[in-house]
Structure 1
Amino acid sequence: MAHIINLIVWDGINEHSVCIARVRNAVKYVKNSPARLQRFKDLVQKLNINCKLSLSLDVPTRWNSTYLMLETALKYQRVFGGFNLPDGDNVPPNELPPNADDWKMVGRLVVFLEGFYLITRRISGSLYVTSNKGFFEIASVCDMLKKWEKNPEKEFKNMAISMKTKYNKYWGDVKKMNMMIYMAVVLDPHSKLTVLELTLTDLYDKEKGEELASNVKIFAYSLFDEYRAMYSYPQSGPINNDQHQDQEDVRLGETMNYVQSLKERAKRLKGSGGNMRSEFERYLNEVLGEDEEGLDALTWWRLNAHRYPIVSRMARDILAIPLSLCCIGIAFSAGVDISIHLGVL
């Protein structure tokens, strides 16, 4: 997932190579000389710029470093404007000092890249559950690109269109996604099927969104049946064979009175297959209390596992799946093929 976001962002960054190169050259010019760096710091104080960040030069193969370089340089825009940067007819266009249009473009680019930067950091986390957030991160990327496609500035509109093309290549056909991406959402007590269906409807049209949500629901119940078969007691298993059902009814009639037979049959329906099926339905239909809204998914399941013994086992297995197995640095790298490092769902 981090790898796909990486590819999408690079398609966008390449649309703004000139303004990025000019800022990079300006930062390099200042940092390459201790004397120039000191003059730069003196000018920062003279202009009363309240920023303690140091200028950073990016690694061209890691777009996060490019984002951080642009973000920091933007804070010192007035300083660069008053600094004597190389200029003239002999200077290549990409190495000219950034002009007002360049800075304006960089400002918009920083806003644009910030969303992808935060998403990549979130999905690369290792100290919290990520699988239940994966689908929403995919949806948020789509939402960002849709908004920027409507941008009145041609440069950013073209950039969003280019990135959306790459997005569609990997995530455009939601039917091809691994169902576990959706199951992690369903097993998040704050989301479940309702939020999933709303998100699918936002991503696509209402008809397609409802169809996909229905497919997820069918898969979810099917998966629940598998877990029920693995973890329920043999006597509590589902009774689907009509002949076996009839034989059981006869046995009950022979050994107990009619009323007791009815009670046992009702208990079997509610306490075995019917109840085990309703366990998942109860989970899906239960509304969180106010005191539960602030609980993370794992804490909620720790407190409620005894109420949903089978569904909690599903949650234990599926929520444990990380979106990414790579370190945060590799997640941003375009210099190597990082797909082998990723645990992409």
Structure 2
Amino acid sequence: MLSVALKFKSVFPVYKKREPHYNYEPSSEDWRKVEKICKFLKVFNLATHVIYGNEYPTANLYLPEVWRVKQVIDDAIEDRDSFMREMATSMKEKFDKYWGECNMVMSLACVLDPRCKLHVIKFCFPLIYKPEHVAAENIEKVKNTLQEMYDEYAEKYHGETIISGVNTNSLVASSNVVSSEISGIDEMLNIVREKEAIHPTKSELEVYLDESAYIPEGNSKSFSALEWWKNSSLKFKVLSKMAVDILAIPVSTVASESSFSAGGRVIDEYRS
């Protein structure tokens, strides 16, 4: 409503001239406040559309939006205008209430976003959690939980020896196939794979975290973390299963249709 009112800012004084009984024309100070508030709340509007979008976003998108909200609240607390400071102070109390403890699911989901990995929590946590040692404790807690969860998944799938997404048990069997039944290149590739099938010194999790963050081409909105893990499932066979389970956790218990549906608020023709 405020953003729409700004577009028609010039209409109010004109209407005041034409309608003598109109006594609610906003002053220049009112319009200045409206502009500041619109700029402030625009961040919340964008975050809401990302988190509660119609396409049921994956959990990795949540933490960056929370960090952005935290950032604008902190900036507003330092604002020179008292009305902004008062509003932001109240909002900060609520924010701190809900984020007093680390939201582990959202943090893990962010780490399992190949574009973010550990970089985002190392950047966001010192801004969200104060003082610095509390942020460091929460970062360490995320790392430990990530490792513990990966160990559980690795144990669950321990029967499969994963080397670049290839099951070495099946390689040994396939290499014993009579050469006349397969092509020359297939037989040669089986031999090469056997030579390459050395037990890895690093776990999939360590390999994933050590690699550079993935930089997608084009618009980031078109990037799908689930699709990336699907394409990387041969390389990270165990970790991809874990990533899919975490990323699929909904960031809200309210369906996006319910949040934004105006169906129940539309006045029918008779009542209108």
The two structures have a TM-score, normalised by structure 2, of: 0.72
Kindly tell me the number of residue pairs found equivalent between the two proteins: 222
- Structure possessing the higher relative contact order (Cα contacts under 8 Å, 6 or more residues apart): 1
Q: CA deviation at 1:141?
A: 1.2
> Which stretch of structure 1 is more off in the superposition, 205-214 or 130-139?
205-214
Q: CA deviation at 1:75?
A: 0.8
Letter of the 1:202 counterpart: L
Change in Cα spacing, 1:86 to 1:222, as seen in structure 2 (3 Å) is: farther
Letter of the 1:71 counterpart: S
Aligned to 2:32: 104
Aligned to 1:283: 208
Aligned to 1:217: 143
**1:257-287 Cα shifts (integer Å, max 9, x gaps):** xxxxxxxxxx99x63xx65x62110011111
Gaps of 5+ in 1: 1-68, 237-266, 334-345
**1:137-179 Cα shifts (integer Å, max 9, x gaps):** 22111111000111101111111111111111212x134x3x2
SS where residue 135 of structure 1 aligns?
helix
Letter of the 2:14 counterpart: G
1:117-156 to 2 correspondence within 5 Å? 117-127=45-55, 129-156=57-84
1:101-250 to 2 correspondence within 5 Å? 101-127=29-55, 129-171=57-99, 173-175=100-102, 177=103, 179-204=104-129, 205-233=131-159
Distance 2:13 2:210 in 1: 60
**1:33-92 Cα shifts (integer Å, max 9, x gaps):** xxxxxxxxxxxxxxxxxxxxxxxxxxxxxxxxxxxx11111111111111035648xx7x
Identical pairs, percent: 33
- Conservation of the 8 A alpha-carbon contact between 2:56 and 2:256: no
Distance 2:106 2:20 in 1: 51
Aligned to 2:187: none
Distance 1:149 1:296 in 2: 35
**1:190-227 Cα shifts (integer Å, max 9, x gaps):** 11123212211232343322221111111101000111
Letter of the 1:166 counterpart: K
Aligned to 1:252: none
Distance 1:206 1:221 in 2: 23
1:325-336 to 2 correspondence within 5 Å? 325-328=253-256, 330-331=258-259
Q: In proportion to residue count, which structure has more helix? A: 1
**1:74-126 Cα shifts (integer Å, max 9, x gaps):** 111111111035648xx7xxxx3322222221121111111111111110024
Letter of the 1:174 counterpart: E
Q: CA deviation at 1:296?
A: 3.6
Question: In angstroms, what is the RMSD of aligned CA positions?
Answer: 2.8
- Conservation of the 8 A alpha-carbon contact between 2:205 and 2:239: yes
Gaps of 5+ in 2: 163-195, 262-272
- Conservation of the 8 A alpha-carbon contact between 1:123 and 1:134: yes
